[in-house]
Structure 1
């Protein structure tokens, strides 16, 4: 390998690290602005941090998206730093990865408007499934344990909003699943609108 090729390779790595770091910081800052939704339990809040993660994944591939998601979670843990936050962020990491990895893999192979739409649908479906499983097996039990809330009390928050919620399974089915689908749709629309305007900056 020539000296010029080595320099170009090092420059590319530095640029990649810089872009990933910036997008991770943006995603972390966006995590600070979460919106509670009236038709869901108060601990389900809509955030826009995944927009930065998805833009990174679309522009630089699934590895970059996964690293941005992970760094965002690490930054959040550094500022929260509790056992409760740790368990919750493990669930958030799984949910974030379930959105960015399959969608960015598909988009890397189909870089068209139609490909972008299909990739966002794939990501949303993956988010819905993995997010529901993560909440059922990790997030809700952890929330119950660390906050000292019986699972019946958490289920009761869902029942107060929708009488069909009667146990953990129906809570996930009627609360968690619709929330994750709504989140995937909203994030997908924002990414679809913004990506082509931002991607030239990331490809420089």
Structure 2
């Protein structure tokens, strides 16, 4: 209850950003839903109903819970400023997207963020949470679409590689033009202060360009590459359990 009250207070001071965030979320969900319907129709995959729909809801709930727990275990990397922390909460998200489709993956991503906000509140005026959601979607949408077109290990690898590259490039753009400026505005801290934290880690960082190239890009590349690698290693066995066709 206390967290909810604090969230409402922060929301009142950041209404414009929240409205923009909600609009972008709606666009992402709508576009992914439309694209998934086209793909399902193209490959002749009917929507699951009845017991399968119940199973899908259970899978989404379980994976969302796991994602929230994994989000609690985060750690900084030696080459990036301390406010960039690595976690593996995207792992259950991409597994859900591979199992049930891109829209399910986005749903798990959204539930993860909402539950984390309700449990832990926000220390970033919602900017960090929005970035986490957006980056997660940028990663899982191309990865799961490639996999859904033809479910094979090769397509899974291609999709994850494409998702990793797109997420890395998007992270650079977002940090330079949206996130760091918004952090600066929300907390009344000059952007130069964030860049200075990067310089403490890597002396070659002198400005925004070198900051995103030497800190942001490697951070996201490593994060999504690790998530991709773990997904490839465990997905086959995990999917059997989730789909209910696991045999000893």
TM-score (norm 2): 0.75
For residues 57 and 128 of structure 2, what CA distance do their matches in structure 1 show?
Answer: 27
The reply on whether 1:113 has 2:153 as its aligned counterpart is yes
1:152 corresponds to: 192
2:30 corresponds to: none
Report deviation, 1:39.
1.4
Question: Is the CA contact (8 Å cut-off) linking 1:57 and 1:64 kept in structure 2?
Answer: yes
The reply on whether 1:178 has 2:207 as its aligned counterpart is no
> How has the CA–CA distance of structure 1 residues 167 and 119 changed in structure 2, closer, same or farther, with 3 Å as cutoff?
same
The reply on whether 1:87 has 2:127 as its aligned counterpart is yes
1:39-89 per-position Cα deviation (integer Å, ceiling 9, x unaligned): 111111110000110111111111111111111111111123347241211
- State the 4+ residue runs in structure 1 displaced beyond 4 angstroms: none
Question: Is the CA contact (8 Å cut-off) linking 1:91 and 1:138 kept in structure 2?
Answer: no
The reply on whether 1:75 has 2:93 as its aligned counterpart is no
Task: Say which is worse superposed, 31-40 or 110-119, in terms of deviation.
Answer: 110-119
Question: Which of 149, 164, 175 is residue 204 of structure 2 equivalent to?
Answer: 164
For residues 103 and 170 of structure 1, what CA distance do their matches in structure 2 show?
Answer: 28
Question: Is the CA contact (8 Å cut-off) linking 2:78 and 2:201 kept in structure 1?
Answer: no
1:4 corresponds to: none
* Cα RMSD for the two superposed structures: 1.6
Matches for 1:25-36 after TM superposition, within 5 Å: 25-36=65-76
How many residues align? The count is: 197
Instruction: Flag structure 2 segments of 5+ consecutive residues without an equivalent.
Output: 1-47
Report deviation, 1:12.
2.1
For residues 67 and 157 of structure 1, what CA distance do their matches in structure 2 show?
Answer: 34
Question: Is the CA contact (8 Å cut-off) linking 2:125 and 2:186 kept in structure 1?
Answer: no
The reply on whether 1:143 has 2:196 as its aligned counterpart is no
Report deviation, 1:96.
0.3
Report deviation, 1:170.
2.1
Task: Say which is worse superposed, 164-173 or 105-114, in terms of deviation.
Answer: 164-173
> How has the CA–CA distance of structure 1 residues 83 and 161 changed in structure 2, closer, same or farther, with 3 Å as cutoff?
closer
For residues 124 and 113 of structure 1, what CA distance do their matches in structure 2 show?
Answer: 16
1:48 corresponds to: 88
1:59 corresponds to: 99
For residues 14 and 137 of structure 1, what CA distance do their matches in structure 2 show?
Answer: 42
For residues 203 and 190 of structure 1, what CA distance do their matches in structure 2 show?
Answer: 19
Report deviation, 1:193.
0.5
Instruction: Flag structure 1 segments of 5+ consecutive residues without an equivalent.
Output: 1-7
